[in-house]
Amino acid sequence: MLECVPLLDPSCRHKVKCCFSFQMLSTPVRVRFAPSPTGYLHIGGLRTALYCYLFARRTGGRFILRIEDTDQSRLVEDAEEDIVASLKWAGFSVDESPEQGGPHAPYRQSQRGALYRAHASTLIDRGHAYYAFDSPESIRLLREHGQAYDAAHRMQMQNSLVLPRHNVEARLANGDAYTVRLHVPEDTTICFEDCIKGTVKIPSNSLNDQVLVKSDGMPTYHLANVVDDHLMGISHVIRGDEWLPSTPKHVLLYRALGWQIPVMAHLPLILSPSGGKLSKRSAQRLGIPVDVRDYRTAGYEPEALLNFLALLGWNPGTDKEVFSLAELEETFSLQRVGTSPGLFDLEKLKWLNGQHLSRMQPSEVLQRARPALEAAGIAPDEAYATEVIRLVKNRMHRASDLAELFSYFFADPITYDAAGIRKRWKPDSPSLVLRYADRLARLAPFDETSLEAELRTLAKTAGVGGGRLIHPVRLAVSGTTAGPGLFAMLATLGRDSVIRRLQAAAQALA
């Protein structure tokens, strides 16, 4: 058995159990987020980025963005742009990236081809990789027979392991298409320490001879990621659990190249509420946005989304649930990342979004609500809008509520809630509401206290309970039965607006 790779550091959940030499990590912390621009940034990708970012910030390390665009056929033109924009929206500061550069530029794998080819030939020279000339057709056939390109079958194939040397050279000189494959050792066990999962052991015979360099000359993820992580001095590889099964291949590459293996940390996956993978289709059916940009348009605040994502797989070990990004940066640790996958719970996100909103300054909430207000054609006065927000902040779940649920603060209601009318609008309502309007014309000061006193007096005079007036007035003024305290609302709306609305309702609902 290949001995276990001992490198682990104290920041990990699992301490070394089976390894003989414990090596404290003394190199500086450098963490990369390495998405592939084959689509817009996914919610799961954002969580990986978040954990990478938090770990880097918490440890005083560097957070690096690397674009893994080695699959030319699946490239999406504006994906990289979206990834960068999404990280920016999230509020992450990136230390090195394709845009800003850095000491290990370039940060786009498509621009690092020479590096991969050089290391591929080193691997070949050392006998850890080989040339393969098999046609796609023969590989398809192999798989159809339920076989893999592995130790048990590679000698039946067309590669430099079986072909005479002169034949291989001739093919290469001739420009024949070829791939470079990893020569996986037979009958051994590959073992490594995962920071979150602990010791992982895999029989080498269950691995195939992974393609390292594709016939188009591009490296596969496996080669590129190992070469780049080493060359870029990455200390901790923090990525999704879907990579755990291929990590043994990476371990083999590190050893073959004589490199130290970074600390490996595989994060549990995010699952759809229905149980399966949070795929685009399954998520959309459940009303869950998948791409980060969709959260933005759905009106979720980045702080809330990040808070939610942080808690999905990590916990602070205290009862605190609401965190700002800065607080997460202070609190996060890899030790407290869990091992089991979590289901996405949209309800909790909504709650968190409301929590963050209600903790913001009114002026900040206004900034967040701006796009929705604009979309609704509302161009409010700053001071007035801030006043409104002060009033309704606690009952907002999204910033866009201001333009929707509370649009009546910015325009007279044009419809009245039907159920509300049935329940609250009585035959005497029009006259009562009109009488109140009359009294309001002379009311001074036009504030919460006197507004209430005036209403109570009128109710008494008319020989009815306060509710007989309160509810119709609310309905008349806002068109709905829900909202902030009536008198504060009237005071904010202002005399002219209130009187106008009362009169309009009395007429419309006569």
Among 112, 154, 183, 197, binds RNA (CB under 7 A): 197
Tell me whether residue 91 or residue 245 sits nearer to RNA (CB atom): 245
Tell me whether residue 119 or residue 197 sits nearer to RNA (CB atom): 197
x/- contact string, 33-72, with RNA (CB under 7 A)?
-xxx-x-----------------------------x-xx-
Tell me whether residue 380 or residue 483 sits nearer to RNA (CB atom): 483
How far apart are CB 125 and RNA at their closest, in Å? 21
Distance in angstroms (rounded) separating the CA atoms of residues 71 and 349: 34
Among 2, 378, 470, 504, binds RNA (CB under 7 A): 470
Among 394, 449, 457, 507, binds RNA (CB under 7 A): 394
Tokens matching residue 379:
């161009």
How far apart are CB 26 and RNA at their closest, in Å? 28
Per the annotation, the verdict on 17 as an active-site residue is no
Tell me whether residue 198 or residue 371 sits nearer to RNA (CB atom): 198
How far apart are CB 456 and RNA at their closest, in Å? 8
Beta bridge partners of 236: 31, 263
Tokens matching residue 329:
């940066």
- From the list 419, 426, 437, 430, the residue with the least C-alpha distance to 480 is 419
How far apart are CB 363 and RNA at their closest, in Å? 19
Q: Is 74 in the site for RNA (CB under 7 A)?
A: yes
Q: Which stretch binds RNA (CB under 7 A): 206-214, 226-234, 283-291, 498-506?
A: 206-214
Q: Which stretch binds RNA (CB under 7 A): 119-127, 227-235, 306-314, 496-504?
A: 306-314
Question: Using CA atoms in the order 390, 391, 392, 394, what is the torsion angle rounded to 10 degrees?
Answer: 70
Tell me whether residue 351 or residue 384 sits nearer to RNA (CB atom): 351
x/- contact string, 155-194, with RNA (CB under 7 A)?
----------------------x-x---------------
Spatial contact of 35 and 68, defined as CB atoms under 8 Å apart: yes
Q: What angle do CA 275, 280, 281 make, to 5 degrees?
A: 75
- From the list 420, 488, 406, the residue with the least C-alpha distance to 455 is 488
- Where would I find the beta strands (DSSP E) of 204-345? 211-213, 236-240, 263-267, 270-271, 342-343
Q: Which stretch binds RNA (CB under 7 A): 88-96, 257-265, 267-275, 325-333?
A: 267-275
Query: Site residues for RNA, window 477-506 (CB under 7 A)?
Result: 481-486
Question: Using CA atoms in the order 198, 199, 203, 207, what is the torsion angle rounded to 10 degrees?
Answer: 40
Query: Site residues for RNA, window 398-457 (CB under 7 A)?
Result: none
Q: Which stretch binds RNA (CB under 7 A): 3-11, 78-86, 243-251, 284-292?
A: 243-251
Tell me whether residue 280 or residue 395 sits nearer to RNA (CB atom): 395
How far apart are CB 71 and RNA at their closest, in Å? 4
Query: Site residues for RNA, window 347-366 (CB under 7 A)?
Result: 347-348, 350-351, 354-355, 358
**Residue 75, phi then psi, degrees to nearest 5:** -55, 135
Q: Is 276 helix (H, G, I), strand (E, B) or coil?
A: coil
Among 90, 244, 264, 290, binds RNA (CB under 7 A): 244
Q: Which stretch binds RNA (CB under 7 A): 96-104, 168-176, 242-250, 297-305?
A: 242-250
Distances, alpha carbon 128 to alpha carbons 172, 206, 224, 255, 256, in Å: 19, 17, 16, 10, 6
Tell me whether residue 450 or residue 481 sits nearer to RNA (CB atom): 481
Distance in angstroms (rounded) separating the CA atoms of residues 141 and 65: 39
How far apart are CB 347 and RNA at their closest, in Å? 4
| 285 C-beta neighbours (distance < 10 Å), count | 11
- From the list 164, 177, 175, the residue with the least C-alpha distance to 211 is 177
DSSP string, 436-458: HHHHHHT-SS-SHHHHHHHHHHH
Q: Which stretch binds RNA (CB under 7 A): 24-32, 226-234, 274-282, 375-383?
A: 274-282
Spatial contact of 471 and 481, defined as CB atoms under 8 Å apart: yes
Q: Is 460 in the site for RNA (CB under 7 A)?
A: no
Q: Is 465 in the site for RNA (CB under 7 A)?
A: yes
- From the list 358, 356, 361, the residue with the least C-alpha distance to 301 is 356
Q: Is 104 in the site for RNA (CB under 7 A)?
A: no
How far apart are CB 122 and RNA at their closest, in Å? 19
Size of interface with RNA, in residues (CB under 7 A): 85
Q: Is 471 in the site for RNA (CB under 7 A)?
A: yes
- From the list 441, 476, 33, 506, the residue with the least C-alpha distance to 267 is 33
Q: Pick the catalytic residue from 15, 197, 214, 280.
A: 280
Tell me whether residue 233 or residue 342 sits nearer to RNA (CB atom): 342
Tokens matching residue 348:
């909790």
Tell me whether residue 61 or residue 313 sits nearer to RNA (CB atom): 313
Spatial contact of 301 and 368, defined as CB atoms under 8 Å apart: yes
Q: Which residues have C-beta within 8 Å of that of residue 352, sequence separation ≥ 6?
A: 304, 307, 308, 321, 322
Query: Site residues for RNA, window 134-153 (CB under 7 A)?
Result: 134-136, 139, 143, 148-149
Distance in angstroms (rounded) separating the CA atoms of residues 183 and 169: 19
Which are the catalytic amino acids? 280
